[in-house]
Structure 1
Amino acid sequence: MPTIDRLDAEILRLLTNDARAGVAEMAETLSVSRNTVQLRMSRLVDSGVLKGFRPVIDLAAVGMPVQALVSVGLDQRMLSSIVRGLADLPEVLEVKIQAGSEDILVHVAIASLEALQELTASIVAIEGVRKTTSTFSVATPVPFRVQPLLSKLTEQSGWGRSTPGVLDG
């Protein structure tokens, strides 16, 4: 199981705040060598902790102002084909298999409530889907984040062999 220390968490914080941050800039901010940051980033990628660098897109700005969570009840024997069917729908942002009263939770973005009705009809048309229930997102006061968790996990760890710098947060 990969483990991270406080320096790793700080590098991830800087990347979360600005995925385009340069290695030299991060090294200066953290008061460590450029080589240390580069090696740490390589280790984070190689160990699977850091999965990639992605832009944050404002879906409303591209014409998809409505987001919803669609719970899907299904025939468990059809799970793989249902997931493939959901992946074929462009409005589907994410699919999570869950334990509970519903089997799958689907995060979708749509242009309107009417578009949601059409999308849920497309979901129900996938063979093996039994029912859907939609919940609308009206605001996201806490967007997806991992930094507070990483900070908590590493609050008792050091910075490895690196010399800690002055942290700004």
Structure 2
Amino acid sequence: MTDLDRLDAALLDALTENPRAGVVSIAAQLGVTRNTVQSRLRKLEESGAVSGYRPVLDLPALGLPLQAFIGVGLEQARLPQVISELGRMPEVLEVHSTTGREDLLVRMAAESQEAMLRQLERLHAIPGVAHTTTTLALTTPVAYRTQPLLDHITRGAGHGRSTPAAE
């Protein structure tokens, strides 16, 4: 685990807002040196806290307006095979192992209801899938985000690793 402070949170916020921003630009925005930004980024990457810089895709703008969350119940001991098959489906955006009635939570995207139905039929045909529960997403009033959580966990952490917060 990496100990984050408010400078780390501000750095991650700047990268979230503009992942293509250069180190010099971020340093100027945060009022720190280029070396500080480079050092912080390197430590975040080496710790695994930051693992990539990806574009945020607008799926409806790409012709994929329909998203579904599918709870998948499995037959015993079939988890690896089912996950492998789900990984081969390009419409599968993510898969989470879960507790409760379902064993997996699968997020899928489709261009239409008919396409989603075909994907669900393919999912049901995977050996080891016992049952599913499908919930269609109508809107996304709060998109995936991390900054409020980072701000919360770094509140009071100071603006430097050795500087206590001045409130």
Same fold judged by TM-score > 0.5? Answer: yes
Q: Counterparts of 1:19 and 1:136 in 2: how far apart (Å)?
A: 30
The match for 2:129 is 129
The match for 1:103 is 103
TM-superposed CA distance for 1:114, in Å, is 1.1
The match for 1:154 is 154
Preserved CA contact (<8 Å) 2:69 2:135: yes
RMSD: 1.3
Q: Which amino acid aligns with 2:151?
A: S
Preserved CA contact (<8 Å) 2:9 2:151: yes
Preserved CA contact (<8 Å) 1:68 1:107: yes
Closer/same/farther in 2, CA of residues 28 and 115 from structure 1, 3 Å limit:
same
The match for 2:56 is 56
TM-superposed CA distance for 1:63, in Å, is 1.4
TM-superposed CA distance for 1:162, in Å, is 8.4
The match for 2:80 is 80
TM-score calculated relative to the size of structure 1: 0.93
The match for 1:89 is 89
Preserved CA contact (<8 Å) 1:36 1:162: no
TM-superposed CA distance for 1:161, in Å, is 5.8
Task: Provide Cα deviations, 1:74-109, integer angstroms capped at 9, x if missing partner.
Answer: 113000110000010010000001001111000000
Preserved CA contact (<8 Å) 2:67 2:136: yes
TM-score calculated relative to the size of structure 2: 0.94
- Where 2:94 maps in the other structure, the secondary structure is strand
The match for 2:7 is 7
TM-superposed CA distance for 1:3, in Å, is 1.2
Q: Counterparts of 2:6 and 2:76 in 1: how far apart (Å)?
A: 42
- Where 1:144 maps in the other structure, the secondary structure is coil
Q: Counterparts of 2:84 and 2:44 in 1: how far apart (Å)?
A: 30
